[in-house]
Structures are given as structure tokens and as C-alpha cells.
Amino acid sequence: MRLRVLACVAWVLAIVYTLLVAPSLQNPDFKREVDSHGASTVTLEVKSEPVEVRGFNHSTRLQVAVEVLEPKRLSGRSGLLNSSSFPRGIGSGVRLRAVITFGSSHRFGVDFKASLKHVIEIQNSTSVDGFGVIRASFLKSLRGLSSDSAGLVAGLAIGDDSKISSATTADFKKVSLTHLTAVSGANCAIVLSALALLFGLLPIPRKLRIFLSFVAIACYLELVGPQPSVLRASVMVGFVLLGQLFGRKLNPLDAISLSVIALFCYEPWLSLDYGFALSALATVGLLVLTPPLSQRLEKRLPAWLSLMVAVTLAAQIMCFPVLLMLQPQLPVYSVIANLLAEPMVLPITIIGLMACLLAPVVPIVSGSLSFLASIPASFVIFVAHSLAQAPMSSINWFSGSLGLVLGISVTICLVALLVNSRRAIKSVAGFVLLIISVLFLAQNSAVAISDTHFYSGNFTIVNCDVGQGDALVIRSSGKVAVVDVGREDPAIDECLTKLGVSRIDLLVLTHFDMDHIGGVQGAITGREVGLALLTSFSDTRPGADFAQLLLKARGIPMFKAERGMKGKLGAFDWLVLSPHRGAPEAQDSNDGSVTMLWEDQQIALLTLADLGERGQLRVGQEQGDLLSSGFGGRAVIVKVAHHGSADQAAEFYEAFKPQIALISVGLHNSYGHPTDRTLNFLNEIGSQILRTDLQGAIGVTETSAGLELSVAGRS
């Protein structure tokens, strides 16, 4: 018991040390680079293949692990490099000379996070260690029924989930199967159990078996990388093996307590890692909650089924608060999904690992084995896709600090009900759960009513909630225009589907930043598109090629926007305000954004994309008479530029004095959008501010009595 208390204390002390003490002990030169958030020219060695990751604001980006080689004052530092897109050929072993912006990190083994600004040079000549050769050979020979099933085999075998599509990853997250897309403590346990069984069949002394087990742990860690969950499982098994070596049986709870204490002494940053927290808490849940849950379930279910359900519930109950920090939603079908998927993990892991080890020697056999492993992997993916698309696949939980506090309360109360025998404590726990349940049902009923009412509206303008990005829908007389499509395919597709949009008459891609064009496939798939209007700013980034090639492949006519271009959309007349032909005035892609004016009998709508202060002043000078005309008494609406960033010209907005200001911005985004400066001057000119981060999707409807405003609410 003392060890378990000490482990909890160690966790708290590690968090305090990591947040308050460790930053002050950093190398001064490195700390200065991180704190300044300035651009630095460095030489990096890439340590992984690009992987798509999702942020808290639901935006996605590509990420690679890197190590700094130059300048010398920063050499040896390891981190994560983010970019909306990387040049072709970027992968493990590649060296980059690039301009990056450093940022701080609170992840195990990660000294910094950085954003890629510009690649100066790419070098491909670096050495790869033996385990790197094994991994590379495995990925090269990897085969499967589908790319996703092959990717899942790689994820469970060596922790490489780069070949799993973003759509499948999203479905796995929705039904709480994310732990299957990478190596976890469970995979480590499977491998070590298989080795223990093998060693037990061999006529070798006990001490030699223990020694070989230690060697196997070290090799497995080197192969899959020191991922926090694998570290936790390996160290825990290590303590159990040490106990066996000295002839003592170690209690599993004591073993995990010792592993937590030891790892926090080794690397306090682990205390803030979600993977480590989920692994440790799930293990505690399995050890503490599985027996009482199984006993209760056996009264209604067969013994084998009650144990499987108990294992799934025990892990999820203990991990509940951490899961809410990752996604504030309750996965309705998580138990069913795990019951169906978990039996497939054993064969996928064992066969996949065999394929990996054989890849450098007999790649043909490796490919055949990975294909065999992909058969159960395909079943897992089928389960994830089917349940993720089922009705009510997830229910929204309370957001923010309140949601976290209530989540912790739920876990504590459920643990008290299951393991405590005192009636008074059980009564209090049951009462607290009842109150939380009532609040939860009331909140979701209100959200459901708001959501249903919102999307059934006959809107003229809808600012879709696509996180940190832009997506605006304009409807008039049966015609539809979509101005930008956000970063993610599912977000824009969901908004257009709920609005019943089956044809887009005019698709405007204002510029080629991924938070404006990344969701283009989701917008156009399954829908007719009349024509696309693109910025005339010359953009050589991969995102620009991606979007234009996709539109071309679908046979969608494309036109370059230029100042003065006009057209009609139902009752709306639209006019391009900037840029000029070829955008010679634009200093960057934001400055070359397509800005437009849309006018019908009631509304004058300005869509400003990401146009910054310089561009706004330029448009103000060129269109001064138009902006100050009053627009014939129409209600003036502005889609505020660049998600409400500080890069705004207040005098530009003062010229046309918008009554309504729409800000398309992600919840808890890392950019600080919208800024106080922008909000303050919009308030000063009397604009009614509506924000997608606070109010969800925003609708504007024209009626005979004027404009009606509606919001979907946060979901």
C-alpha cells in the first residue's frame, strides 16, 4: 500500500518538477531559442516518416521526429517538426537544412516542437542502425488487403501508424480503438508472454530464461522505440523478473508502482504524457476493477464474456478523465468495438512481428505474413468504420475544466461503488453519479434540440464550424457558393451534408493555406461543382498542387480570380476586390487571398479570407468609395480576416462599419485567435461578434422583418 501511495506522490512531484523546475534548468541558449519563438536556421536529421496528427482544435498537420545537428549549441536536441506539407522525399534518415520556429514541449523524449518555415537544402546520405534497417525492410515489404489494414499491421507490430488514413484514424478515435493503431503495453505483454512460453519449452536454466527475457525486452524497445506505454510495460515486467531472480513473487500493483516511481526518476516529462497515463491507469484498472466487475457480470453473462466485458470496462473507467482531455465525448459503442476487436490483436501482433523480423532476410515471406496479418486487421477496420457511422456513435461530454472535474468524479465514484464495502460511501458515490447523469442528460438534450433546429433552417449564410479554418456557405434561389473548405474533409462534409448541399455552383478557394483548402476533397466528393474560383497568387507549395490537381481530375472548371471580376449567384451579385491579375502586389499567400463582396437586396457580405493589415489598407484605398457608400442601407456582414488575428487595419473596418462580424476560429487554438485587439475595435464600431469557437456553426437568414441569427452551439 505504501508503494502505491508513493507512486501517486511521485506522479504529482514529477508534474510539479516538469512544469516549474525543469524549464529553469534548460541550456540557456536552447531555452532562449524556444522562448523567443523566432525563426532559426538549423540542420536536422529526420528520425521518422511523416505522420498526420490532430491538434486540440481539430486541425491536422504533418509531423516528423527530428534531431538537431547544427548549430553546435543546439546539437543533440530531439523534437517534433510540424508542417502543413513536407517536400517529397522527406523520411527517416534524411537531413534537412531549414528555417524553423522553435516552441516548447511537455512530451517525453521531446525537447521542442517546431514549425517548418522554409527548406533550404535536402540531403539523403545518412546512416541507419540495424533496427532501422529491419523497420525499413518491413515497411517496404508490407502487404495487405487494403492500405489501411497493412497500416494497422505496421502499427501493432512496430508502432508505425503512418500508413493508416486519417479517416480510419478518426473512426478509431470515435469508437475508442485508438490504442490499436500503435504499439502499447498490451502488445508488449503479448510479445513477452509468447517469449516466456517459448523459453519455458526450452531445456534451459531459470536464470538463463530470465536473462534472455531481459535481452528480449531491450531488443523490443529498440525495435519499436521507447514509446511511453511500452516503457511502462517493460519496466514493470523487469521488476517482476527481478523478483523471480531473487526468488520473490512481486504483487502486480507493487510492480506497476515501482515502474512509475523509477520512470519518473529517470524522466519526469513522462508525467505529462497521455500515452503513459493511459497505459498506467489502464493497468491499474485491470488489476483493481476487473475482479469485482466480472463477479457482478457473471450473474447475467457467461463467464468468458463477463471477463472480456469487465476487462474493457475496467480500463475505460480508470482512463475516463484522460480520455476526456483528448476528446470530450463518450464513445457509445466502445465496449462493443473493443469486444470485437481485441481478440484480433494477438494474431496481428505476433504474425506482424514475425513478418518484421524476416523482412531483411526473406522479404517475400515477410510480405506473405503481413498479408495474412492484414486479414484480421481488415475485420478490426470494418468494425471501426461500421460503428463510427452508426447512429449516435458519440455523445458530447462537458467541455473545459468542468468536464475534467466531472470526469474525475465519475471515475472516483465508480471505483468506490465497485471496491468499497462501506454503505455510507457507496450511497454518496451513487448520489453524485445520479446528479452528474441528470446534468449530462440535460446538456445533451439541449444540444440535440439546438442542433436539429439549426441545420433545418433556411439560411442565406452559414459559417460552418471547421475548427481553426474557414468555410462559409452562401445560398440564394437554389444556388450555393462555398468559400473555403477548412482543413479536414470530415468537418466540411458534415456541415454540407447537414445543410443538404448536393451541388456547389461556385467553389472559392481564397488561397492555398491548408486551413482553407485542406478539406477540398470532403467538400466535392459526392457533389456536383459548377466552377472553382482560385487565387491568382503564384503558390508553389504542395497544398496548391494537391488542390488544383484534385479539381482538374474531377473535371471542375477553374478560373483565376482578379480584381474587378463579377458574377451572380441567385439573387447575389459578387465582386472580387483583390488581388489584381497575377497578384503582383502580394507579399505572401495571405496577402494574395481572394477577397469578395456579395450583395443582394438585404445583405452586403465581405469575405476577407486571411488578408492582413497591409492588404486591407490597399483594398481600402482602391475601393474607398464603395466601402464608405453605406451599401444602399443593406445590413453589412464581414467574415473577419485571418480568424481574428491581430494583423488587421481597424480603419478599414471602420470605413464600412459591419453590423455583424463572423469569426471562424478553432476552440483553444494555439495562435491566440481571436486577439483582444481585434475584438476591441469590432466592439467599438458596434459590430455583433459571432464566433465558431464559442457558438459553433453560425447561420444568417433573410426574412421580411430583417435578418435572423442562429447558432448551432458547441458540440
Tens of pLDDT, residue by residue over 2-58, are: 788 888 898 888 888 877 776 665 566 666 665 554 567 888 888 776 766 654 334
Query: What pLDDT is attached to residue 56?
Result: 36
pLDDT of residue 364: 92
pLDDT at 103 (0 to 100): 67
Neighbouring residues of 567: CB distance < 8 A, sequence distance ≥ 6: 506, 573, 574
Sign of the Cα torsion 231, 233, 239, 242 reads negative
First to last CA, the chain: 42
Tell me how far apart the alpha carbons of residues 471 and 524 are, in angstroms, rounded to a whole number: 13
- SS3 category, 123: strand
- Residue type at 651 in one-letter notation: E
- Summarize pLDDT for 470-501 with one digit per residue, the tens: 999 999 999 999 999 998 888 898 899 888 89
Q: Using CA atoms, how far apart are residues 191 and 187, in angstroms rounded to an integer?
A: 6
Question: Do residues 345 and 186 lie in contact, with contact meaning Cβ atoms separated by under 8 Å?
Answer: yes
Residue 415 corresponds to which cell in the numbers above?
471505483
**CA gap 209, 202 in Å, rounded:** 9
For 250-302, the pLDDT digits (tens) are 888 888 999 999 998 888 878 877 778 888 898 899 899 999 999 999 888 88
Q: How many CB atoms lie within 10 A of CB 77?
A: 21
Q: Which residues, at least 6 apart from 69, have a Cβ–Cβ distance to it below 8 Å?
A: 42, 43, 44, 45, 75, 95
CA distance 279 to 539: 44
Strands (E), 401-519: 461-463, 472-476, 479-483, 503-509
* Closest listed residue to residue 160, CA positions, set 331, 352, 340, 332: 352
Instruction: Give the other-Cβ count within 10 Å of 145's Cβ.
Output: 14
> Cα Rg for the chain, rounded, in angstroms?
28
Parallel/antiparallel/unpaired status of strands 635-639 and 603-607: parallel
pLDDT at position 23 = 62
* pLDDT at residue 563 in the model: 93
To the nearest whole number, what is the mean pLDDT of the chain?
Answer: 84
Q: Please state, in angstroms and rounded to a whole number, the distance separating the CA atoms of residues 220 and 213.
A: 10
Q: pLDDT under 50 in the chain at which residues? A: 37, 55-59, 126
Question: In the Cβ-directed half-sphere of 256, how many Cα atoms lie within 13 Å?
Answer: 22
H or E segment and range at residue 437:
helix 423-455
| Grid cell at residue 179 | 490504442
pLDDT of residue 561: 93
> Which pLDDT does position 58 carry in this prediction?
40
Q: In the structure grid, which three cell numbers stand for residue 376, read together?
A: 484480421
Q: What are the strands, taking DSSP E only, across 600-697?
A: 603-607, 635-639, 660-663, 688-691
> What confidence score (pLDDT) does residue 491 get?
87
Give the span between the Cα atoms of 204 and 208, in whole angstroms: 7
Helix 334-358 / helix 303-326 crossing angle, nearest 10 deg: 90
CA 580 – CA 565 distance, rounded (Å): 10
